[in-house]
Amino acid sequence: MITARAETVVVGSGPNGLMAAVMLARAGREVLLLEAGDRFGGGLRSGELTLPGRVHDLGATVMAMTLASPAFRALRLEGVEFVHPPVALAHPLDDRPAVLLHRDAARTAEGLGRDGRVWQATVGAAARAGFPLMELLLSPLGPWRATPREFARAARFGAAALLPATVLARGALRTVEGRALLAGLAAHSMLDLRSPTSAGYGLALGALAHLVGWPLVRGGSQVLADALVAELRSLGGQAVTGHRVERLDELDARTVVLDVTPRQFLAMADLPPRYRRALSRYRYGPGVFKMDWALDGPVPWRDPEVGRAATVHLGGTLEEIAVAEAEVAAGRHSMRPYVLAVQPYAADPTRGGHTLWAYCHVPNGSTADLTDAVEDQIERHAPGFRDRVLARHTMTTADLEAVNPNLVGGDIGGGLNSLAQFLRRPVWSPAPWRTPLPGVFLCSASTPPGPAVHGMGGWQAARLATQAERHAR
């Protein structure tokens, strides 16, 4: 056994682990970052999955949360350029033009006809509340610097956000377009759309499009991970790949920050029985089946406007998407799944040609190959798509977990996004990033505020670790 020694050791280099490492180094700590894989980044990784020279993102591509995150906004990293597509999101429909989500809330509302006023009163209002509201959403347990007025705005947002997406859509929206747009956004939650809080994910993502856009990192998401590692090293920190930590007793450190999920933590440490039982009850959500394609040209969308969007939601109407997500929540595969697709070339021409990736939701741990189901949904709105394919690459839930052990059963969210686990992530605590082990902190997407590239779990863990160090002196 090789013992890793440093004042502070960060295990795992996903966006939260990278953020924790940088923040602790900025606080003057001696930091050693350990990554089991051969590259840093976790969900921020890019590679040639199909053809030489074609850059594909293995995980996250669209970075709305990154631009809204107070942690990332404070970093001001060099060498990272965010690029915006002409349209943030397109949602094709069978018998009418696609629904478009624009950076401009008024333009989006105009395209929704009778639902435009409701969109402005809900999603538009959240966007107009600005960064203070997003900071409250990304710091659900504090610390807060908000004014009473900002808390009041958050309370109004929360009243709608707690609803099931189906309830909000059918109660507030009247058009096929408006309901479909909300359903596609809410399905990012990977919840049954009849579940409480599923509406909140849709409202927040829509608001982010109007507040900061849905940008990509020029050159691939790996650029952002590499910039964080470069920042850490510029501060005197060390970063090492190919070093897997199996047990905490391999580490000789005053402070340990773990970018791992409860399952890995349970295997790494001898924990107090009550805490161990609580972690053992932590629930993982559905997995994804992911595909990447190298194409000989742009996707031949029936509605050309879809080609201007980096993100495309495929699945049809509210009713169709709700049925597909309910099937997955019940542990079954949908043969007409909701498909989330990203065509990076709409914003970034530097990735070696026309590439596309997409995933659909599947039961956790699924071994099914849903290639035909995913491609059928694309062909539905882009006849002739398969004729454009030069090469394809598929990843089942097991393939995803092999690349990144935090994706337990293919769950890209670090755990089920239910209301119960919003309040208990991974355990009920006013500071869930702190563990019962002295000097040991958790920071993965299994801690608040949950998934996405915002780094706030790492920011919170670093803040608590710094406070603990001050109190120990």
| pLDDT at residue 1, rounded to an integer | 47
DSSP letters along 4-46, please? EE-SEEEE--SHHHHHHHHHHHHTT--EEEE-SSSSS-TTS-E
| pLDDT at residue 3, rounded to an integer | 67
In whole angstroms, what is the distance from residue 330 CA to residue 175 CA? 28
pLDDT at 195 over 70: yes
290 and 382 in a single domain? The answer is yes
Contact by Cβ (8 Å): 172, 118: yes
| pLDDT at residue 469, rounded to an integer | 73
**Average confidence (pLDDT) over 290-317:** 98
247 and 391 in a single domain? The answer is no
In whole angstroms, what is the distance from residue 16 CA to residue 31 CA? 15
| pLDDT at residue 473, rounded to an integer | 59
Residues 213-236: pLDDT tens digits?
999 999 999 999 999 999 999 999
Residue 432 is part of a domain; what is its CATH number? 3.50.50.60
pLDDT at 471 over 70: no
Round the average pLDDT of the chain to a whole number and report it.
96
| pLDDT at residue 468, rounded to an integer | 83
Q: Tell me whether residue 154 is in a domain.
A: yes
Helices 148-161 and 131-138 cross at an angle (nearest 10°) of 70
**386-401 burial string, b = 16+ CB within 10 Å, else e?**
eebeeebbebbbeebb
pLDDT at 322 over 90: yes
301 and 206 in a single domain? The answer is yes
461 and 367 in a single domain? The answer is no
Contact by Cβ (8 Å): 322, 202: no
198 and 260 in a single domain? The answer is no
Last residue in a domain, options 367, 383, 403 = 403
13 and 156 in a single domain? The answer is no
Q: What is the pTM of this model?
A: 0.96
Residues 53-107: pLDDT tens digits?
999 999 999 999 999 999 999 998 989 999 999 999 999 999 999 999 999 999 9
Strands 339-342 and 216-217 come out as: unpaired
Instruction: Please write down the long-range contacts of 419-425, taking CB distance under 8 Å and 24 or more positions apart.
Output: 419/162, 419/195, 419/196, 419/197, 421/282, 421/283, 422/140, 422/197, 422/448, 422/450, 425/450
**Average confidence (pLDDT) over 143-172:** 94
**Average confidence (pLDDT) over 357-380:** 98
Q: Dihedral sign for Cα 300, 303, 308, 309, please.
A: negative
Last residue in a domain, options 403, 422, 442 = 403
Residues 418-437: pLDDT tens digits?
999 988 999 999 999 999 99
| pLDDT at residue 208, rounded to an integer | 98
178 and 163 in a single domain? The answer is yes
**Average confidence (pLDDT) over 390-402:** 97
pLDDT at 2 over 70: no
Q: Tell me whether residue 247 is in a domain.
A: yes
442: three-class secondary structure by DSSP = strand
Q: Tell me whether residue 433 is in a domain.
A: yes
308 and 205 in a single domain? The answer is yes
| pLDDT at residue 470, rounded to an integer | 72
| Structural domains of the chain, count | 2
In whole angstroms, what is the distance from residue 393 CA to residue 395 CA? 7
Q: Tell me whether residue 111 is in a domain.
A: yes
| pLDDT at residue 68, rounded to an integer | 97
| pLDDT at residue 472, rounded to an integer | 64
| pLDDT at residue 4, rounded to an integer | 78
- Residue 119 structural domain: 82-216+286-403
291 and 339 in a single domain? The answer is yes
Q: Is the peptide bond before 140 cis (omega within 30 degrees of 0)?
A: no
191 and 313 in a single domain? The answer is yes
92 and 195 in a single domain? The answer is yes
Residue 174 is part of a domain; what is its CATH number? 3.90.660
226 and 202 in a single domain? The answer is no
Cα–Cα separations (whole angstroms), residue 7 to 21, 170, 234, 237:
12, 55, 17, 11
In whole angstroms, what is the distance from residue 292 CA to residue 66 CA? 23
In whole angstroms, what is the distance from residue 183 CA to residue 323 CA? 11
